Amino acid sequence: MLLQKNASWSLIKLKIHRIRSSFSRRLPETVDAVDASLLIVDHTTLPGGAELALTHFAGLSKLNATFAFLQKNDGRLAFPRRTVVLAPDRSLGAIQQLHFLRTVLRRHKQSLIVSNTLRVGIYVVLLKGRHQEHVLLLHDGIDGQSLSPLKRAIINWLVLSRTKAIVPNSRWTASTVPEKFQGLLTTVAHSFSGTTGNEHRGRVERTDARPLRLLSLSRLVKWKGVHLVLDALEILAKENFGERDLILTIAGSAILGPDKYAAELKSRAKLLPFSVEFVGQVAQIAPLLLSNDVLVHASVRPEPFGQVIVQGLSYGLVVVAPDSGGPAEILNEESGLLFTRGSSISLANALRHLLESPELRKSLVENGQVAAISYSDSEIVKKFDTIFRSVLGFPEVLQEESKISDGVA
């Protein structure tokens, strides 16, 4: 009888173990021994700007860092070979993601947990240990234009109140932090754009002035303002500008959510007397940037930073962007053209100015290339390393100077 009870209890424990195992992947045995002082966490492995920035940080930073994702990494985020990347080996539901993150936080001894998104910041502050400090990388505004009242309340009450430091990616994102939490702000550390500042050296200069080749490079969501570019072209069409003057390439996709907005853009583009090509999501943006003349960025709400602005400058394009948010911090009257945010008339005026003044285009390109250098990845990583070292207070987290940058984790 006793043997039967012991056997039954063993069977129950085995079933419990199997249930627990179904909630998360088994972490590598070597992970527990990793000598890392910070853990950087993101909720998604979709290759958005904030996520791609992590791959650049991993390749350049002198700090020991482990990266954790709550989604399976299907290879679209390519990390240096020696980088420790923790991710589930299959798709997880919301509860399973929380269980996976809790397991990661408990198995690691890092004193600093860095959240790369607001969403994962909520999870981290709920699950982190008492000995672990939390730092939030602020890639988005937390004002009324960016978040609903409910989301703002959650971020302020739950996340910011349990955060040691907030690292803003622009002065604008810093300005959206409520006054009571302004003391948590570090110096601005701009987002990684994947540039060296010398990408323009691969450009073949054009001798012909027209047609001016315009490029829109962003997610196809309404707040990115691609429809505003079409509005501006409609204005120029009424002034008898046509395909001999302008052509437009629109790169990007919705990534998340429905493609209704993209469909609306395509329908409108067919009615314009210009060549408008939709090329979808582009994995390698270098050929696209090198084959166009003007980068048009038209967000209708303040852009937190604008990595694509830096990319455009570095690749030798004239950059036209709204006069608010990050773009207004990156560009000045000598390095780019700023137009009134949300105004198709102001954008049309800027494009007309470029059409009528080849000398202006040349000057903006030259000055833009100089401006791009200060936003290159090699400069940005110094700011992040300094900030993290300051929060950690551990000089021994420095790694060797050389980093192996080939291969994928």
Domain count of the chain? 2
Distance CA 75, CA 88 (A): 13
Residues 183 and 211 in one domain: no
Q: Which two tokens stand for residue 384?
A: 């992040």
Q: CA torsion, points 189, 314, 286, 225, in degrees to nearest 10?
A: 70
What is the domain extent for residue 237?
199-373
Residue 112 near residue 40, CB atoms below 8 Å = no
Residues 168 and 223 in one domain: no
**405 domain-assigned:** no
Residues 155 and 177 in one domain: yes
Q: How does pLDDT run along the chain (409 residues), one tens digit per residue?
A: 444 444 454 544 444 344 344 433 344 433 333 344 799 999 999 888 999 999 999 999 999 899 999 999 888 899 998 899 999 999 999 999 999 999 999 988 778 999 999 999 999 999 999 889 999 999 999 999 899 999 999 999 999 999 999 999 999 999 999 999 999 999 999 999 999 988 888 777 765 678 999 999 999 999 999 999 999 999 999 999 999 999 999 999 886 666 899 999 999 999 999 999 999 988 889 999 999 999 999 999 999 999 999 999 999 999 999 999 999 999 999 999 999 999 999 999 999 999 999 999 999 999 999 999 999 999 999 999 999 999 887 544 444 333 333 333 3
| CATH number of 67's domain | 3.40.50.2000
Residues 156 and 221 in one domain: no
**349 domain-assigned:** yes
Q: Which two tokens stand for residue 373?
A: 């250098």
Residues 355 and 206 in one domain: yes
Distance CA 109, CA 67 (A): 14
Q: Which two tokens stand for residue 226?
A: 């691609």
Residues 282 and 262 in one domain: yes
**205 domain-assigned:** yes
Secondary structure E strands in 263-408? 275-280, 294-296, 318-322, 337-339
Residues 364 and 381 in one domain: no
**216 domain-assigned:** yes
Distance CA 106, CA 129 (A): 7
| Listed residue (52, 95, 106, 48) closest to 70, CA to CA | 95
**308 domain-assigned:** yes
DSSP state of 106: H
Residues 183 and 283 in one domain: no
Strand pairing report for 84-86 and 112-115? unpaired
**11 domain-assigned:** no
Contacts 24+ apart (CB under 8 A), 355-361: 355/210, 355/212, 355/241, 355/245, 355/246, 358/209, 361/293, 361/294, 361/318
Residues 179 and 255 in one domain: no
**7 domain-assigned:** no
Residues 314 and 284 in one domain: yes
**347 domain-assigned:** yes
Residues 166 and 212 in one domain: no
Residues 214 and 117 in one domain: no
